[in-house]
Amino acid sequence: MRVALIGLPNCGKSTLFNQVAGYKAETGNFSGTTVTFTESRVRVGGEVIELVDLPGAYSLVEGSPAEREAARYLDSRDVDVIINVADSTQLASALSLTLELVALNKPLILALNMVDEAARMGLQFDADGLARELHVPVLPLVASKGRGVKGLFLKALEMYRKLEQVQGQVGDALNPEDRHQHAVAISKKYVTQGERRIIWRDRLDNVLLHPVWGYAIMFFVLFLFFQAVYGIGKVTEPPLLALFDWIMKSALSPFAEGSFLSQVILGVLQGIAAGVAIVLPYLLPFLLGLGLLEDVGYLPRVAFLMDAFMHRIGLHGKAIVPFILGYGCNVPAVMSTRTLEEPRDRYIAAALAVLVPCAARLAVVFGLVAFYLGPIIAFVLFLFNLFIIALTGKILSQLTPEDTPGLIMEMPSYRVPTLKNVLGKSWFRIREFVVEAWPILIAGSAVLATLNFFDLAYIFNWLARPITWLIGLPSQVGVPLIFGILRKELSLVMLSQALGTADFKAALSSEQMIVYATFVMFYLPCLATLSILRRELGTRAMLTISALTVIVALLAALLVRGVAIVLF
């Protein structure tokens, strides 16, 4: 038996799915989190059910990619029972889709989700009347708390066994406009608006979207967020690194020092360590914090506040999310471009997000520029980075004219996040990193060790020479630049190996340090990010974005070199 969940974006389909199937579908208090369907086998009342979570759809006929996916699925597969999840606080909008589904003549249940929220807003439902009008069972549900879930699936089972059919005379052959107005009329008939209990959440937007306080609070929230992420990362990274140091020493002891095997094993272990000890201490708190902000419903507010600024670089407010994420790690930043509807917006947002210096590249800026030349120059370099990103955005958006009129975004109500959901979501995303990016880190690390063993590094210095010559860097930095693509956080370590000293002041001039940091800040994202770029946008986009970053890095480095020559 196959049961499909369908409903408007952000109505809680995935939350319901995860309640039954364990955390398998990505959820968020943000429209369009689910873009393809997720399937799972679950057991209900002794029966095995194939449960399908379809992407959010306003209609079966209109055409966003996610909606076409939902319609195609209902069309092509043997769906025995359809569960139509409706956000009961916005029933008028939801019923339009319900009317379309009724016309399909398949066993259908309407689940009124978030009835607790609706009760708070003073909404009362005549569920029986609604059921009579639509000829389908109507059941209340609070998916986030698991209330009504069991009853819903038992009903689905019952309908399946009785092969109950709905008579679809309602809403048949209506055009979308009439259907919509019909839905609004039905909702007016069966929903009565009682006393609305005003609580803090209703007043929150007066502050959080305030023309002055809204921005102040946004910067404060994001500042706290990054402080917390870096704080946790800084505390957890050293012990993990020490642990891996110890593991490497013990693992290598049976092998002869400097043998080929020991070098390759060292490389593999370093790749594993790079994932566990460097990326995870930052990625995990980052994803937890992000999950929290997302489930509360704050991200759409940030998008609302930043829309005017994002327009200047040819995007709209929703594209702010990848940028915020980019400062932690470019991998989740690129993943988050999925929430943008237009392929053009996704492409530009991804191209710009990889120019945002992630934690590993920030380390280079701190370790080289701030440490040797002072924090002020490092800060100027950050501003320069923002300027270059804005400029690149401007140019890219000129090259690919916008075909959408601008921002249209559902603003969800604030919701109290549940720990289970935030943890589940973070785990879901961590797994993406572990499966997609980590193996590449490990393999790349082993390759680097092999090349080192055979002393082949000079080839890379030679290959990178046109670039290093152009921006005035010594030829030895070719290796750290090329292999920095594997692991950006090791750029500094590799730089010191390549130069043969950890005192960069002795080997590089001030000008060269700034130029190196600038180039590292912009050029090619790391291999992990590249693999995610390819998965999200395809091989071609990955290649063009890579080429773009190299060009941007070259021009930026040349510009900085010119300025530095004048200044120093």
* Eight-state DSSP code of residue 13: H
Q: How far is the CB of 306 from another protein (least distance, A)?
A: 8
Q: 494, 358 in Cβ contact below 8 A?
A: no
Rounded CA-CA distance 481/483 in Å is 6
- Residue 149 near residue 19, CB atoms below 8 Å: yes
Q: Which stretch binds another protein (CB under 8 A): 127-135, 228-236, 300-308, 496-504?
A: 300-308
318 or 488: whose CB is closer to another protein?
318
> How many amino acids of this chain bind another protein (CB under 8 A)?
41
Q: Is 204 in the site for another protein (CB under 8 A)?
A: no
Residue 368 near residue 516, CB atoms below 8 Å:
yes
404 contacts another protein (rule: CB under 8 A): yes
| Among residues 406, 466, 538, 562, the one that binds another protein under rule CB under 8 A | 406
181 binds another protein (CB under 8 A): yes
Residue pair 34/5 in contact (Cβ under 8 Å)? The answer is no
Q: Interface with another protein includes 126 (CB under 8 A)? A: no
The smaller minimum CB distance to another protein, of residues 205 and 536, is found at: 205
Contacting another protein (CB under 8 A), which of 23, 58, 438, 522?
58
Class of residue 146 by CB neighbours under 10 A (exposed 0-12, middle 13-18, buried 19+): middle
Site for another protein in 523-562 (CB under 8 A): none
**Using the rule CB under 8 A, which residue among 26, 53, 67, 345 binds another protein?**
67
* Sole residue written with tokens 């704080």: 231
- Is 180 among the residues that bind another protein (CB under 8 A)? yes
Residue 143 has which token pair?
A: 């998916």
Q: Minimum Å distance from CB 408 to another protein?
A: 6
CA distance 202 to 158: 40
Say whether residue 224 binds another protein (CB under 8 A).
no
Q: Which is nearer to another protein, 36 or 193 (CB)?
A: 193
User: Quick check: 192 binds another protein (CB under 8 A)?
Assistant: no
Q: Which stretch binds another protein (CB under 8 A): 172-180, 228-236, 322-330, 466-474?
A: 172-180
Among 8, 21, 51, 355, binds another protein (CB under 8 A): 8
Cβ contact 350:337 at 8 Å: yes
CB 4 within 8 A of CB 54: yes
CB of 62 to another protein, least distance (A): 5
- Alpha-carbon Rg for the chain, nearest whole angstrom, is 27
Residues with Cβ within 8 Å of residue 495, at least 6 apart in sequence? 477, 480, 504, 516
How far, in Å, CA of 181 to CA of 371, rounded? Answer: 65
Per DSSP, the three-state class of 124 is strand
CB of 14 to another protein, least distance (A): 19
With binding defined as CB under 8 A, does residue 184 bind another protein?
Answer: yes
Report d(CA 256, CA 1) in Å as an integer.
61
| Helix, strand, or coil (residue 178) | helix
- Give the shortest CB-166-to-another protein separation in angstroms: 23
308 contributes a contact to another protein by CB under 8 A:
yes
The residue from 411, 502, 551, 567 that contacts another protein (CB under 8 A) is: 411
Kindly indicate which of the ranges 78-86, 304-312, 361-369, 380-388 contains the residues binding another protein, using the contact rule CB under 8 A: 304-312
Cα distance between residue 30 and residue 11, in whole Å: 10
User: Is the Cα dihedral 522, 432, 408, 66 positive or negative?
Assistant: positive
Q: Strand 47-53 and strand 38-44: pairing?
A: antiparallel
Q: Toward another protein, which CB reaches closer, 80 or 100?
A: 100
User: 304 is written with which tokens?
Assistant: 């609302």
The type of residue at 218 is M
Nearer to another protein, 105 or 181 (CB): 181
Which region among 13-21, 180-188, 234-242, 257-265 touches another protein (by CB under 8 A)?
A: 180-188
- 75-104 residues near another protein, rule: CB under 8 A: 89-93, 96
Binding-site ranges for another protein (CB under 8 A): 8, 58-59, 62-64, 67, 89-93, 96, 176-177, 180-181, 184, 205, 209, 211, 300, 303-305, 307-309, 311, 316-317, 404-413
